[in-house]
Amino acid sequence: MARSHGDYTTDLPLEDLMNKQAWIAFRFDDDDLAPEHGGPARLLVPHLYLWKSAKWVRGITLMHEDQPGFWESLGYHNYGDPWREQRYQEE
């Protein structure tokens, strides 16, 4: 579970963060990452929908069992693969 300032959370399988699939971005264009783009630090997971790329991230909690995050618990898809159009939970 990626946790952000302001209580935003989003859940991801650990495998999706590994092997250079994801970034913690804190600089852009020779500058510190601006707040409106998620600075001081944000998660970037290009292969999943954008809400998984949590802005203003402050920690990642490793869990044994999955728990839905902020939007996943309100109708958004738990995984979020854009290639399979997994935006919302199965309707």
The first and second tokens of residue 61, run together, are 């909690």
Longest dimension (CA), the chain: 44
Binding another protein (rule: CB under 8 A), the pick from 24, 28, 32, 37 is 37
What is the Cα–Cα distance from 91 to 75, expressed in whole angstroms? 9
What SS3 class is residue 32? strand
Which of 21, 56, 68, 86 touches another protein by CB under 8 A? 56
Q: Residue 83 and residue 63: Cα distance in Å, rounded?
A: 26
Q: Which stretch binds another protein (CB under 8 A): 17-25, 59-67, 73-81?
A: 73-81
Binding of another protein by 91 (CB under 8 A) = yes
47 contributes a contact to another protein by CB under 8 A: no
Interface residues with another protein (CB under 8 A) are 5-7, 35-37, 50-51, 55-56, 70-71, 74-76, 88-89, 91
